[in-house]
Structure 1
Amino acid sequence: MVSHAHQGTTSSALTRLNVNAARSLGIPPAGYAHLPGLAPEHLDDDLCRPPALTSIRIAELATVHAPWTEVARVMTRQSGIGSLGVWDYLFTSAPTPLEGMRDASAYLGTVVDTGTDSVRMSEDGDEVTVSHLNEADLAHEAACAVRACALGLYQRRLGEAAQRTLVPVRVALAARTPARHDALTELYGTRTIEFEAPVSSITFRAADLNAPSPHAQPGLSGVLRRHAEQTLATAVPLRNWLDLFRAALASPHDGGAPTLSAVAGRMAVSTRTLQRRLDEHGTTWSNEVETVRREQITRLLHGTDLSIDAIAARSDYADARALRRAVQRWYDTTPAALRRTGRPHRGARAGLGDEPAEPVPGARR
């Protein structure tokens, strides 16, 4: 259900949450604005998944400016319903808060890096315990803040599903005992907080989580689960420079086809530097643009009823004949056959053949 392709990244929504918390704590943007994935075209695009390291560095910076207990409280306060996208509504649409928690656990990857974060649920008679494990390479204070925030977030979403405040039976944190924990008492609504625990967890009365959710809608949970799957399927991971370049290349461009100078401008580098970095990654501008066009054309053939002429026009080919030559080169078949079969021919060359590629718009400065 969670793609390994997304490990090492988090949702742009979670990254925005970290940025908003940093602003609330008065941290100067100069300290984090340069981090990868924080360019507006990435941060504001819900299809992009910035590097997990970006959120980690912001959390570490936050705990330099404020106690980790306060950072956890501020981060949770910033996370209003809807701030984390479809994941939030998996809680509130389910028949009960407990079922919502199960759905949210299954699709945790829509928000966090499942290579480092996971959630477990256990039921023991009259109690239900939600445990959050975080194994990211964070500074200790930042790790404490992230774990405390995760529990606060689960409590908040479960309360939103129940439409009332849910006070936990107890809270356990895999964190050093702080000098003061007033912020955590306010966050969880209880003084029953254990520190130095092996795993961070929050425990509720089973009766509270099994009560019907007031705003549950029959069938909506299934729709949202499918939406969560689609979110993961279409997400664009941004783990490194090449991922960031490809996201900038694939994003909409004024005036149609992307140009070398326009993409270089988005990435705040010169065209010469951009070409050099592509060379360092074993690729070229022309190859990258060709790949984007191939993926776009394949999607249009499989997912629309557009004519070959219309697809050629959308893809900046001179005419349908040029498009047919390109598809033959990529997949060793025709556009019509590719559309009928729904998949590339077994002998597909995917652009790796010996024939020269069609001229690519914007390939030269």
Structure 2
Amino acid sequence: MVSHAHSGTTSSALTRLNVNAARRLGIPPAGYAHLLGLAPEHLHDDLCRTPTLTSIRIAELMTVHAPWTGVAGALAQHAGIGSLGVWDYLITSAATPLEGIRDAAACFAAVADVGTDSLAISEDGDQITISHVNDADLAYEAACAVNAGSLAVYHLRLCEAAQRPLVPLRVALAAEAPRRHGDLTELYGTRSIDFEAPVSSITFLAADLTAASPRAQPGLSAVLRRHAEQMLAASIPLHDWLDLFRTALACVHDETAPTLPAVARRMAVSTRTLQRRLDEHGTTWSSEVEAVRRDRITRLLHETDLSVEAIAARSGYADARALRRAVQRWYGTTPAALRRTGRPRSGAGAP
């Protein structure tokens, strides 16, 4: 489900969860608001994928200001149903909680960076264990918080699916025992918590997770899995400054003919700074505008029945003849032929 382009990013929903937890803990926004992907137009756009490093930095800031047990609790408190988008409902809409968490594991890339985090499920007789492993280059306290908070979110979703409290048989945390852990007992609903485990995990009776979910809706799970895949395919990974620029350019292009000052205003920089950054990234304003136009025109040819004249008008070309010349330059063919034959081969005609 995941592609190389999404590696190193997480969903904006997961980033919002981290930001909300940081606010709850009183972390000054000045410490993280400048991070890549935290501009409102990116943080609140569910199609944007935030750099994993942004969430790592927020987690580390939280554990500077609060114990990792408190950070895990703050993450769980802001993880209400729906906070992580369609991924939440994969768990709560399946026939059983077990089937739901399996769907969530299969679609884990929709919410997390599967290059650093993994969700695993194992069955052993009458017990089912759900594990979370984080391999990111995190400070120790932050890693403890992420693993403990993730287990808490899984517990919350499974309880929601079962429509009743589920008491774990035990919780194992890959962390040293804190001096006090009453907040962890409250978080998981059990005193059976082991520390210094090789992997953080939460174990339930199999009977609790294989019982029918009261809110299960036949056929809905397949629809949600497909939607999760489509959302991931359509998402915009923000790996670096150039990704941010291209997102801003695409937004301005959708509203009107893009201009350098308009994009510079959207990114809160001067036009001179914008041109310098483009040069640093080995590209130019004109080539970037050309690429956006090419992608937009290709999409309109394949996804609509608009005439070439209408597409030219929507794309900022003087007339259909100018658009035909552009398509010939990009793909070596005509708009009509491109529409008939489908998408061009990857890289064909790319500037």
Give the TM-score normalised by the residue count of structure 2.
0.97
Structure 1 residues 285 and 203: CA distance shift in structure 2, 3 A: same
The CA deviation at 1:347 is 9.6
The 4+ residue runs of structure 1 with deviation greater than 3 A are: 252-255, 345-348
Aligned to 1:358: none
* Residues matched between the structures, number: 351
Aligned to 1:330: 330
Aligned to 2:40: 40
CA contact (8 A) 1:11 1:50 kept: yes
CA contact (8 A) 1:332 1:347 kept: no
Confirm or deny that 1:249 pairs with 2:266: no
The CA deviation at 1:287 is 0.6
Aligned to 2:134: 134
Aligned to 2:278: 278
Aligned to 1:361: none
Aligned to 2:211: 211
Structure 2 segments unaligned to the other structure (5+ residues): none
CA contact (8 A) 2:252 2:262 kept: no
Aligned to 2:311: 311
Aligned to 1:363: none
CA contact (8 A) 1:332 1:345 kept: no
Two-structure CA RMSD over aligned residues (Å): 1.3
For 1:82-140, what per-residue CA distance to the aligned partner results, in whole angstroms no more than 9, with x for missing partners? Answer: 11111001011111110000100011111111110011111011010011110011111
Q: Secondary structure at the match of 1:176?
A: coil
The amino acid across from 1:165 in the alignment is: P
Larger deviation, residues 186-195 vs 302-311: 302-311
Q: Secondary structure at the match of 1:213?
A: coil
CA–CA separation in structure 2 for the residues paired with 1:308 and 1:259: 24
The CA deviation at 1:244 is 1.2
The CA deviation at 1:258 is 2.1
Structure 1 segments unaligned to the other structure (5+ residues): 353-365
Aligned to 1:68: 68
Structure 1 residues 256 and 293: CA distance shift in structure 2, 3 A: same
CA–CA separation in structure 1 for the residues paired with 2:347 and 2:75: 51
CA–CA separation in structure 2 for the residues paired with 1:90 and 1:318: 47
For 1:224-255, what per-residue CA distance to the aligned partner results, in whole angstroms no more than 9, with x for missing partners? Answer: 11101101101101111111111111125685
For 1:19-42, what per-residue CA distance to the aligned partner results, in whole angstroms no more than 9, with x for missing partners? Answer: 111111111111111111100111
For 1:312-351, what per-residue CA distance to the aligned partner results, in whole angstroms no more than 9, with x for missing partners? Answer: 121111111111111111000011111111122799422x
Give the TM-score normalised by the residue count of structure 1.
0.94
Aligned to 1:191: 191
For 1:235-293, what per-residue CA distance to the aligned partner results, in whole angstroms no more than 9, with x for missing partners? Answer: 10111111111111112568512221121122221111111111111100111111111
CA contact (8 A) 2:252 2:263 kept: no
Structure 1 residues 348 and 70: CA distance shift in structure 2, 3 A: closer
Aligned to 1:202: 202
Confirm or deny that 1:165 pairs with 2:165: yes
Written as runs of structure 1 = structure 2, the 5 A alignment for 1:141-152 is: 141-152=141-152
The amino acid across from 1:134 in the alignment is: N
Structure 1 residues 343 and 66: CA distance shift in structure 2, 3 A: same
Structure 1 residues 257 and 35: CA distance shift in structure 2, 3 A: same
CA contact (8 A) 1:117 1:135 kept: yes
Q: Secondary structure at the match of 2:118?
A: strand
CA–CA separation in structure 1 for the residues paired with 2:253 and 2:33: 23
